[in-house]
Chains A and B, each alone.
Chain A
């Protein structure tokens, strides 16, 4: 039964990996725009352009996270329970950040006082920077291993999550998302703000590449270079993509640069999942305590029902989310600022 890759457990492991990859690819540039907001937005008009660049799509992007959480609950309840009760405070910080960031988009324009906007702008920055860092820390920890006992219960403390490898993971996600956001803005905006976004992305390209190189190298030196070929190929592709971003930006191939930052994010995340498989959480207290797709999963009936549901809805979701990006494909800039008092 535990042989080969053609089974529902592996399918759901792959689907959850895809949900996280999709989440980081999409929400990654939302986070990046939030991180760059105080640096690229010189006045309120600039900041409005930046927020509006992701305005129509950020909410849909965030749902990838919620569905990743829900799918984990349904397909691997043991993983869901151990992960969220173990990473308790980290998750609390992420949730608090996402709450303030989410309402800030909607509320910042609903007041006129400069202090009102300044507070919501801070919420957007910290609400983007915090999760951008913490997601990297969390996934590095899942792969490196955290203290989990024989009952799959957490046996550590918050500080156990902050070892150097995990922090490097956090720095990698933070820099990659910031870069991804910068490149996204060169595609979505016009005029001076676009030039500023390009310069920011060029500045971020090398530190981000260095972080990717460091993180992936450490991953393979560490015990988790488990002899598979696929993670190596994906890693090399991720690194090459990150390395190409600076060059692509200089020759003004912005679309390709965006594809490259996206590929880097996809590659790094895929490396983590490929390296992890068939584990879903590694225990630092011994391999016997590891959570795997076999001991953490739901029964086959539930996995079958969920597979059918996913086959129906996933293509629909991809179609209408794709269509949204098509509808809002136009660049925005200062000339779009038709003052509209009192409209929805």
Chain B
């Protein structure tokens, strides 16, 4: 272990931890906004109770997304100063715009929404939650613009005098094709996360025959959202694999554990890779299916890791350009597997709903409760695939991760903050899970129209 590896661990822990909260926040804020809109339109108190119940869970979760986001913003300068010097001209811009255009919007209007129930008119108050929802999406857009540039750098050139990357086409940065698949994939995944959460929590209440009006309605809306979003995630995900084959063939080859360039390549179902010898120790595959999926032809050619390694060495010089194959391969399979499972759960749930058996099918309600974990698994493995699969590059084809660290931040310092942040994240996770569980099990608030002045909210 050297400072470099610890810095990578710290980035991974911080990012995964941050992204533990973000998708649920985005998913729940849209759900809450839709509920409040329904209440605004119909004045049906059930919708108000739904708004308040899910809104409260959203707020608990949102707080953690906000505070972990601060670390996210500053860790580039702390642990990755060489990276920051090299790319700041390009990468800093979307980050700064995220703050200016999205963070201000979210954090100001969330305050107005929390404290504004009786200070603002119903219409303006409703607008506040929608503005927060738009803010969270804008935030996702700009941070993904930054990440997409690391995956597929466009609109820049390296200044031969300073040796730094410089932006020369901002429109190209925003039109990056990688961004336009990453962004819908992320937003849809967030809707799935919110949807599965609402279904699971509602299921728990329905198991107890508790507040069935509120929770049947919540579950049915969430089931529809989940079905469309999971299917959407998988479709966009497929586009991303095609894009990856073009842009980062090595990542795709590693994600399939395909070592040698093959015509009519099979789709691997279970592979144990032997990275040291450049082959699979064990592999079960569906013949020809990988070629069909990635080239749309029975005998299409798919590039393998070993051949790509040779090409990369010719282009970039000697060195290994192979990511951790087993990690890339298995995170891809876990992500896709959980995604497909969630489609199945949504279909079964909707079928039960249609048969009016949702509330009485106890095994499904228990399953839905457990299935809250699925989107979290899919979100985390998805990011690990994206980031680990890009290695050894930090900016694909432009800068190696090893060259990106802060030269003056030694092992002791990184270790200190790694332990510190990990402990903090551990405490916060415990508190968050405790609070979410506690409030998810509580009764939805009684509908009080008009609500008495809630000046003291906290």
| Interface: B279 (CB within 8 A) | no
Q: Is the CB of A306 within 8 A of B93?
A: yes
Q: Is the CB of A91 within 8 A of B101?
A: no
| Interface: A150 (CB within 8 A) | no
Within the assembled complex, what's the spacing in Å between the Cα atoms of A65 and B69?
12
Binds B, one of A98-106, A162-170, A197-205, A245-253: A98-106
| Interface: A220 (CB within 8 A) | no
Give every chain B residue within 8 A of A330 (Cβ-Cβ): 455
User: A60-B111, A324-B112 known; A338 and B453 CB under 8 Å?
Assistant: yes
User: Which residues of chain A in 68-102 are interfacial with respect to chain B, using CB atoms and an 8 Å cutoff?
Assistant: 69-71, 73-78, 80-86, 88-89, 91-92, 95-96, 98-100, 102
| Interface: A55 (CB within 8 A) | yes
Binds B, one of A272-280, A282-290, A310-318: A310-318
Binds A, one of B39-47, B304-312, B352-360, B444-452: B444-452
Binds B, one of A31-39, A46-54, A222-230: A46-54
Q: Is the CB of B63 within 8 A of A107?
A: yes
| Interface: B60 (CB within 8 A) | yes
Which has the most chain B C-beta neighbours within 10 Å: A55, A59, A111?
A59
User: Which residues of chain B in 107-155 are interfacial with respect to chain A, using CB atoms and an 8 Å cutoff?
Assistant: 107-112, 114-117, 119-120
Q: Is the CB of A103 within 8 A of B73?
A: no
User: A62-B107, A321-B108, A340-B452 known; A70 and B458 CB under 8 Å?
Assistant: no
Q: Is the CB of A337 within 8 A of B456?
A: yes
Q: Mark A284-327, 1 if CB is under 8 A from B, else 0.
A: 00000000000000110110011001100110010011001001
Q: Is the CB of B458 within 8 A of A328?
A: no
In the assembled complex, the CB of A80 is this many whole angstroms from the nearest CB of chain B, namely: 5
Q: Mark B57-96, 1 if CB is under 8 A from A, else 0.
A: 0011001101111110110111101101101111111011
User: Looking at chain B, what size class is its interface with the partner chain?
Assistant: 35 or more
| Interface: B441 (CB within 8 A) | no
User: A85-B78, A99-B70, A324-B112 known; A63 and B104 CB under 8 Å?
Assistant: yes
User: A48-B456, A82-B81, A317-B100 known; A99 and B107 CB under 8 Å?
Assistant: no
Q: Is the CB of B408 within 8 A of A89?
A: no
In the assembled complex, the CB of A192 is this many whole angstroms from the nearest CB of chain B, namely: 16
Question: Nearest residue in A to B85 (C-beta to C-beta)?
Answer: A81
| Interface: B373 (CB within 8 A) | no
Q: Is the CB of A343 within 8 A of B445?
A: yes
Task: Count residues of A near B (Cβ-Cβ below 8 Å).
Answer: 78
Question: Nearest residue in A to B169 (C-beta to C-beta)?
Answer: A301
Within the assembled complex, what's the spacing in Å between the Cα atoms of A338 and B159?
63
Q: Is the CB of B103 within 8 A of A301?
A: no
Within the assembled complex, what's the spacing in Å between the Cα atoms of A272 and B115?
36
| Interface: B235 (CB within 8 A) | no
Question: Nearest residue in A to B59 (C-beta to C-beta)?
Answer: A106
Q: Tell me which of B91, B119, B167, B453 contacts A336 (CB under 8 A).
A: B453
| Interface: B337 (CB within 8 A) | no
Give every chain A residue within 8 A of B93 (Cβ-Cβ): 74, 302, 305-306
| Interface: B280 (CB within 8 A) | no
Within the assembled complex, what's the spacing in Å between the Cα atoms of A77 and B413?
22
Q: Mark A108-125, 1 if CB is under 8 A from B, else 0.
A: 111100000000000000
Give every chain B residue within 8 A of A85 (Cβ-Cβ): 77-79, 81, 406, 408-409
Q: Mark B159-180, 1 if CB is under 8 A from A, else 0.
A: 1000010111010000000000
Q: Is the CB of B99 within 8 A of A95?
A: no
Q: Is the CB of B112 within 8 A of A56?
A: yes
In the assembled complex, the CB of A271 is this many whole angstroms from the nearest CB of chain B, namely: 25
Question: Nearest residue in A to B448 (C-beta to C-beta)?
Answer: A343
In the assembled complex, the CB of B53 is this many whole angstroms from the nearest CB of chain A, namely: 9
Q: Tell me which of A65, A336, A343 contacts B451 (CB under 8 A).
A: A343
Which has the most chain B C-beta neighbours within 10 Å: A60, A66, A99, A299?
A66
Instruction: Specify the main secondary structure of chain A where it touches its partner.
Output: helix
In the assembled complex, the CB of A48 is this many whole angstroms from the nearest CB of chain B, namely: 5
| Interface: A254 (CB within 8 A) | no
Q: Is the CB of A70 within 8 A of B98?
A: yes
Q: Is the CB of B67 within 8 A of A98?
A: yes
Q: Tell me which of A77, A154, A305 contacts B408 (CB under 8 A).
A: A154
In the assembled complex, the CB of B64 is this many whole angstroms from the nearest CB of chain A, namely: 6
User: A80-B84, A306-B93 known; A88 and B99 CB under 8 Å?
Assistant: no
Question: Nearest residue in A to B112 (C-beta to C-beta)?
Answer: A324
Q: Is the CB of B89 within 8 A of A77?
A: yes
In the assembled complex, the CB of B175 is this many whole angstroms from the nearest CB of chain A, namely: 14
Q: Is the CB of A60 within 8 A of B92?
A: no
Question: Nearest residue in A to B32 (C-beta to C-beta)?
Answer: A344
Q: Is the CB of B407 within 8 A of A153?
A: yes
Binds A, one of B203-211, B219-227, B416-424: B416-424
Q: Is the CB of B445 within 8 A of A342?
A: yes
User: Which residues of chain B in 181-220 are interfacial with respect to chain A, using CB atoms and an 8 Å cutoff?
Assistant: none
| Interface: A260 (CB within 8 A) | no
Q: Is the CB of B88 within 8 A of A80?
A: yes
Question: Nearest residue in B to A317 (C-beta to C-beta)?
Answer: B104
Give every chain B residue within 8 A of A92 (Cβ-Cβ): 78, 416-417, 420-421
User: A80-B88, A84-B78, A89-B416 known; A324 and B67 CB under 8 Å?
Assistant: no
Within the assembled complex, what's the spacing in Å between the Cα atoms of A76 and B67?
24
Q: Is the CB of A153 within 8 A of B92?
A: no
Q: Is the CB of A305 within 8 A of B95?
A: no
Q: Mark B429-458, 1 if CB is under 8 A from A, else 0.
A: 001000100110011011010011111111
Question: Nearest residue in A to B166 (C-beta to C-beta)?
Answer: A299
Q: Is the CB of A88 within 8 A of B413?
A: yes
Q: Is the CB of B104 within 8 A of A328?
A: no
Give every chain B residue within 8 A of A70 (Cβ-Cβ): 73, 92, 95-100
| Interface: B52 (CB within 8 A) | yes
Within the assembled complex, what's the spacing in Å between the Cα atoms of A310 and B96?
10
In the assembled complex, the CB of B412 is this many whole angstroms from the nearest CB of chain A, namely: 10
Give every chain A residue within 8 A of B416 (Cβ-Cβ): 89, 92
| Interface: A129 (CB within 8 A) | no
In the assembled complex, 26 residue pairs joining A and B whose CB atoms fall closer than 8 Å, in A order, are A65-B70, A69-B74, A70-B92, A70-B96, A70-B97, A73-B91, A74-B88, A77-B92, A77-B164, A80-B92, A81-B85, A85-B409, A92-B416, A96-B420, A96-B421, A99-B68, A106-B60, A107-B60, A111-B435, A298-B166, A302-B90, A328-B119, A336-B453, A338-B454, A340-B454, A344-B59
Q: Interface on A for B, CB 8 Å cutoff?
A: 48-49, 51-52, 55-60, 62-63, 65-67, 69-71, 73-78, 80-86, 88-89, 91-92, 95-96, 98-100, 102-103, 105-111, 152-155, 298-299, 301-302, 305-306, 309-310, 313-314, 317, 320-321, 324, 327-328, 330, 332, 336-338, 340, 342-344
Shortest beta-carbon contacts, A-B, top 8: A77-B88, A84-B77, A74-B92, A73-B92, A70-B96, A67-B99, A85-B81, A106-B63
